[in-house]
Structure 1
Amino acid sequence: MARQTVVLGAGMVGVSIAWQLQKRGYQVTLVDRRQPGRETSFGNAGIIQREAVRPYPFPRDMKTILSVLPNRRVDIRYRPAGMVNAASPLLSYWHHSSSRLYKKIVPEYASLIQLCLDAHAPMIEAAGAEHLVRKEGWLEIYRTPEKLAKRVKEAEEARELYGVQFTVLDREALNEKEPQLGNKIIGAIHWLDPWTVADPGGLVAAYAASFEAMGGQLVQADITGVTQQNDHWKVTTSAESFEADQVVMALGPWAGQWMKPLGYHFPTFVKRGYHMHYATQPMAKLNYWLMDAEIGYLLAPMNAGVRLTTGAELDRLESPADEEQLGAAEKVARTIFPLGERKDSAAWKGARPCLPDMKPVIGPAPRHAGLWLAFGHGHQGFTLGPATGQLLVDMMEEKPTAIDMTPFRADRF
C-alpha cells in the first residue's frame, strides 16, 4: 500500500516535492492556503540560476555597511523594527559571511545549484511548459569597467570550479542584444547556462497540474494544526483533516513559525522583495532579463509586461508594504530602458525565506519520525525546488543522493 504523505506549501519547493513523491507511487496531498505558485514563487525574477553558485553574503566591509545606513540604496533597505526582530539570526548571518566560513559554504551551496537544470527539465516536459521557458541566459549589466572586471574574475573562477558558462560583452556587442539601453551601461556578462521563465507562477501551476494529472490531491485551505499521534501525523485545515504516515514542511517564509509548536526554533528570517509590471515606450522591446548589477534591481520581459524586481528589504514578514524601494529602482531603470506606464494597480510584495548560513534545511526532523523539512532557500527557491524534491524523496526512500546532504541537515542549528 502506498504511503500517505501530506506536503505543506505549494510554492516551487513544495510542488516539486509533491510531484516527485507522486511520480514514485506515494499517495500525496498538497496543502496551501492559496493556489500553487501564488506566494513567493509568483513574484521572483523568473530565472533558473545555474550560474548562482555563490549565495548572497552579508556585507562585511565598512564602506558598504556605511552606505546602507542612510537607507536609500536600491539593492538593500531595512526597517529598524524588522532589524531588531531578527537581530539574532542577522548577527549569525553576518558571522557566517566571514571570508573563512563563506569559503566553506560556497562549494556546499554550489553542489545544489549544479543540479538545477537537470532537475527542472523532466518536470517542464511532463507539465508541457516548454512555452514558458527560454534557454538563452541573461545579462548582468555594468556601468564601470572596474566593477565589470572584478565580476569577470569571479565568473572565471566559477567556470573553473563549477562549470559556469559565460561571455563578456563590450558595449558594441551588448548593443546587438539590447539596442535600447541607456549610454551609462558600458558592458555586460552574458550568463549562458540559466533558463528564464516568462511566468514564474505559471510554471509552478503547470508543475502542480502535472502532479494532479498523476493522481495527486491538491487542497486549498488554511492549515490550522500539525500534530504527531503515535506513529502517524494529523494535519488539520479549515476544510478537513488528513491522516498521514509522513508530513513534509515546505512552507517557505512561514516554516519557522510552524516548527515552533513542535519544539524546533530555527533562526529563520526573511528578505522581502517587490515587483511591478510596465508597458514599454512605442517601438521599444526588452529582449533579455537584465540585472543592473551596480544598482541592484532586475528587469525581465514577462508575459504580463516588463517586470521590475527589487533587491532585499529587511523587515518582519507581515509588515505593511513600503514602495519607496520600488520607486527608487523604477527611477533608475527609466534612465537605462524606455519603460512605459505601470500595469499593476499596486506593487506585489513577497518574502524570501532565509537561514543564517545561506543554505536551506533539507532532510528529516531530528526528533520526529515521519517529519521532513525543506525550507530556507533564500533567493533560490524557484531555482532549487526540483533539485530539492529529488534529493528529499531519495532521503525518504533511503536511497543514495546525488550530493552529500550533510551540509543541509536540520540539526546543524
Structure 2
Amino acid sequence: MAQDVIVLGAGIVGVSVALHLQQRGRHVVLVDRRAPGEETSFGNAGLIEASSVVPYAFPRDWRTVLRFARNDSTALRYDLRSLPSYATWLARFWWESAPNRLQAAARDMLPLVARCVAEHDAFIDRAGLRELVRPTGWLEAYRSRASFEKEAPDAERIAAAHGLHVSILDASALRSAEASLAPGYAGAIHWADPKSVSDPGALTKGYAGLFEREGGTILRGDALTLEATGRGWRVRTADGVVEAQEAVVALGVWSDAVLRPLGYRMPLMAKRGYHMHYASEADAPLLRPVVDIEAGYVVAPMKRGLRLTTGVELASRERPANPVQLDLAERAARPVFGLGQRLDDKPWLGLRPCTPDMRPVIGPAGRHAGLWFAFGHAHHGLTLGPVTGRLLAEMMSGETPFTDPSPYRPSRF
C-alpha cells in the first residue's frame, strides 16, 4: 500500500496532523496499535486551555519543594524506585524553570496557545461535534483566602497582557456561578476563554471519523516496525506493509521507543495521571471544570459523570498503578463537589509526554530525510493537537509557517 505520508499515533496530535496534511492534498495513512483516542487523549480534564500561557514549571519555592518531598500531596507523588530514572530529567526541568527561562518558554508557547481554540473550532464545525464542546471556561478555586488574594491580581495582569477574559469571584460570587459547590472555597478565578469538552476521547474519534470520511485510511499496526527504505519509510500493519515518502512520529510518550533504534535520544519522560468518574449527589449540575489549586486535582463535568483527574505521579511506565493519589483527591473533593458512587471499574491511568524545557517537539528529524516529529505536549495535548497539526503540515508542505517553528525544533536536544 503506497501513501504520501504515514502518521504514527492516533491520539489528538496524530489525528490532527493527518487531517491538516489531508487538507493539503496529501494521501495519508494513520497507524496505531489501538483505535483513535484511546490512550492519553482519552483521559484528561477536557480543557482547551486558551488561558494557559505559562507552562507548568518545577516549583522554585523551597517550602513547596519540601512539601512535595514528603510524598503525601495530591498534586504530586513519586515512586521512590523510579526516581533514579527521572534524576537527569528533573535536574534539567528545574534549571529550565528559573524565572527568566520560564518567561522564555511562555513566549515560545504563546503562538500555539493563542490559536488553539480557533484550530479546534475549525475541526469541530467540519466534523459536526459542537455538542461535545462548551464555551464555559474553567475555574481556579482557592481554599485559602491568602492564596486567593495573592493570585487574583496576577491573573488580572496576565489576562490584560494577553487579551484574555477573567473574572475574580469571591466565595459568594462563586456559589452563584456554581450552585453545585458546597462551602469550602474562599474564591475562584474564572478564565472565560478556554472551552471544555464533555468527552475528549469522543472528540478525537470524531476528528478521526472526519479524516476517514474525507478519504483517509486508519490501520492497526506496530510503530516499532518503522524502518527507512531507499525511497522513504515503511511500517507493518494488520493489513500488510505500508510505504510512504514521509513519516510522522506522533506517539506521545512512546515516541522515544520508535526513535531510539534510529539513533535519536529525546529527553521525554512521563508524568502519570489518573481519573475516575462519579455520580453526582449535588443539588445542581457542575457547569464547568474546576481546578482545586491547593489540593491539586480537577473535577470536570463529563458525559459519563463527574470526572476527577489527579495531578502528577512520577513513576516509570512499567510500574503498576497506585491508587493512593486518586484516593486522596477523592477524599478532598467528595464533600465539596458532592461526589457519589464510582462509575468506573478501576481508575484510568495515562502518561503525559513531557520535555524538560516545557516545549513540544515539532519539526524535521534532522538526520533522516522525510522523518518528522510531533510529540511532547505535556499537559496540553488536547489543547495543542490541532494547532500542532497545522504547523507541522505547513512545514511539510513548504508553506510559510504561521509562527517561527524553531523553539520546537527536534535538534535542540
TM-score, normalisation: structure 1? 0.97
1:282, distance to aligned residue in structure 2 (A)? 6.4
User: Which secondary structure state, in structure 2, belongs to the residue aligned with residue 366 of structure 1?
Assistant: coil
Matched, 1:291 2:291: yes
Amino acid in structure 1 at the alignment position of 2:158:
A
Tell me how far apart the structure 1 counterparts of residues 48 and 28 of structure 2 sit (CA, whole Å): 26
Tell me how far apart the structure 2 counterparts of residues 223 and 161 of structure 1 sit (CA, whole Å): 43
1:316 is matched with 316
Amino acid in structure 2 at the alignment position of 1:231:
R
1:243, distance to aligned residue in structure 2 (A)? 0.7
1:238, distance to aligned residue in structure 2 (A)? 4.8
User: Which secondary structure state, in structure 1, belongs to the residue aligned with residue 261 of structure 2?
Assistant: helix
RMSD over equivalenced CA pairs, Å: 1.3
Amino acid in structure 1 at the alignment position of 2:109:
Y
Q: Identity of aligned pairs, percent? A: 46
User: Which secondary structure state, in structure 2, belongs to the residue aligned with residue 4 of structure 1?
Assistant: strand
Deviations 1:23-63 (A, max 9, x none): 22111100111110010000000010000011100112211
1:81, distance to aligned residue in structure 2 (A)? 2.1
Q: State which drifts further: 177-186 or 84-93.
A: 177-186
CA separation of 1:248/1:287 partners in 2, compared to 1, >3 Å: closer, same or farther? Answer: same
2:268 is matched with 268
Deviations 1:182-239 (A, max 9, x none): 3221111111000100000000000000000000000123334111112311112354
Amino acid in structure 2 at the alignment position of 1:342:
R
Aligned 8 A contact 1:23 1:214 in 2: no
Matched, 1:40 2:63: no
What is the 5 A alignment of 1:165-314? 165-281=165-281, 283-314=283-314
Q: State which drifts further: 395-404 or 35-44.
A: 395-404
User: Which secondary structure state, in structure 2, belongs to the residue aligned with residue 335 of structure 1?
Assistant: helix
User: Which secondary structure state, in structure 2, belongs to the residue aligned with residue 255 of structure 1?
Assistant: helix
1:251, distance to aligned residue in structure 2 (A)? 0.2
Aligned 8 A contact 2:362 2:388 in 1: yes
Deviations 1:86-142 (A, max 9, x none): 221121111101112112111111221111011111100111100000011111111
Unmatched tracts of structure 1, length 5 or more = none
Aligned 8 A contact 1:269 1:353 in 2: yes
Tell me how far apart the structure 1 counterparts of residues 362 and 19 of structure 2 sit (CA, whole Å): 16
1:150, distance to aligned residue in structure 2 (A)? 2.6
Amino acid in structure 1 at the alignment position of 2:402:
A
User: Which secondary structure state, in structure 1, belongs to the residue aligned with residue 118 of structure 2?
Assistant: helix
Aligned 8 A contact 1:17 1:388 in 2: yes
Aligned 8 A contact 2:132 2:197 in 1: yes
Tell me how far apart the structure 2 counterparts of residues 155 and 283 of structure 1 sit (CA, whole Å): 30
User: Which secondary structure state, in structure 2, belongs to the residue aligned with residue 394 of structure 1?
Assistant: helix
CA separation of 1:62/1:19 partners in 2, compared to 1, >3 Å: closer, same or farther? Answer: same
Matched, 1:146 2:146: yes
1:151, distance to aligned residue in structure 2 (A)? 2.2
What is the 5 A alignment of 1:6-405? 6-281=6-281, 283-405=283-405
Aligned 8 A contact 1:362 1:410 in 2: yes
CA separation of 1:147/1:386 partners in 2, compared to 1, >3 Å: closer, same or farther? Answer: same
CA separation of 1:282/1:170 partners in 2, compared to 1, >3 Å: closer, same or farther? Answer: closer
Tell me how far apart the structure 1 counterparts of residues 297 and 318 of structure 2 sit (CA, whole Å): 22
Aligned 8 A contact 1:155 1:164 in 2: no
Aligned 8 A contact 1:362 1:375 in 2: yes
Q: State which drifts further: 193-202 or 280-289.
A: 280-289
Aligned 8 A contact 2:136 2:287 in 1: no
Deviations 1:331-381 (A, max 9, x none): 000121211100001000001000000000100001111001000000001
Aligned 8 A contact 1:92 1:356 in 2: yes
Amino acid in structure 1 at the alignment position of 2:4:
Q
Aligned 8 A contact 2:219 2:237 in 1: no
User: Which secondary structure state, in structure 1, belongs to the residue aligned with residue 319 of structure 2?
Assistant: coil
CA separation of 1:62/1:6 partners in 2, compared to 1, >3 Å: closer, same or farther? Answer: same
Tell me how far apart the structure 2 counterparts of residues 316 and 120 of structure 1 sit (CA, whole Å): 32
1:3, distance to aligned residue in structure 2 (A)? 6.1
User: Which secondary structure state, in structure 1, belongs to the residue aligned with residue 110 of structure 2?
Assistant: helix
Aligned 8 A contact 2:180 2:282 in 1: no
1:74, distance to aligned residue in structure 2 (A)? 0.4
Aligned 8 A contact 1:171 1:185 in 2: yes
User: Which secondary structure state, in structure 1, belongs to the residue aligned with residue 335 of structure 2?
Assistant: coil
Amino acid in structure 2 at the alignment position of 1:49:
E
Tell me how far apart the structure 1 counterparts of residues 218 and 162 of structure 2 sit (CA, whole Å): 37
Amino acid in structure 2 at the alignment position of 1:288:
R
Tell me how far apart the structure 1 counterparts of residues 175 and 355 of structure 2 sit (CA, whole Å): 39
Tell me how far apart the structure 2 counterparts of residues 146 and 125 of structure 1 sit (CA, whole Å): 43
Aligned 8 A contact 1:224 1:238 in 2: no
1:284, distance to aligned residue in structure 2 (A)? 4.2
Aligned 8 A contact 1:31 1:219 in 2: yes
Tell me how far apart the structure 2 counterparts of residues 370 and 151 of structure 1 sit (CA, whole Å): 46
Unmatched tracts of structure 2, length 5 or more = none
Aligned 8 A contact 2:24 2:397 in 1: no
Amino acid in structure 1 at the alignment position of 2:19:
W
